Amino acid sequence: MTTPSGSIAAYLHAKDGNRPHLLAQAFTDDAMLQVTVHTGAISFPPVSRGRDAIGDVLVRRFGQTFENVYTFCLGSPPGVDTQVFCCDWLVVMTEKDSRVVRVGCGRYDWCFSPPSCLAESLSITIATMQALPASHMDEVMDWVAGLPYPWCPVSTALRGAPDIQHLTPVLGYIGRSQPAGFPDKKSRPAAPRSVAPSQA
């Protein structure tokens, strides 16, 4: 028997490492995936039903386009008895063909099935997805490669972020719950306007 945090970790390792077989440790056979996208920079089917369909969307097809994928759940993992869990996420990856760097963020909403603790549903909200020139790849990858994986405190992610204008919407979204003045009031970006408070 796994745990909710174990199911989430299995999903992230499956997606980031292009290992669809690991989804058996993350989702029930008939799990449902819903994706809400608030940016035109990336697209996914709005609904996928069943573990195989989820694997096609989030691992197999995803892995055909992207590499160097790092996805972080921001905050602390859920407890062993958790059935519903929400957290923000941060993803960094590069496009295989163009080497363009993609940095995005949003929210996960998980529902777990007792007693297996496998996910019976996952709702992914994509708040923003920024495209950075390939020339930024080294500094962005140096940043994320040094972060704790897959659970990362928001403050840790913000402190190490490179000073790149393209990252402003992402850092503003993930840092919106931080105290005013962190990292400092002047440099802290604003959250993107396209995300309604009910979706934040």
Q: What's the pLDDT score for residue 157?
A: 97
Domain 4-153 architecture: Roll (3.10)
Show me where the domains of the chain are located: 4-153
In this model, does residue 1 exceed pLDDT 70?
Answer: no
* 38-47 average pLDDT score: 86
Instruction: Name the residue among 148, 115, 120, 91 with its Cα closest to residue 26.
Output: 120
In which band, very low, low, confident or very high, does the pLDDT at 61 lie, cut at 50, 70 and 90?
very high
**Reported pTM:** 0.87
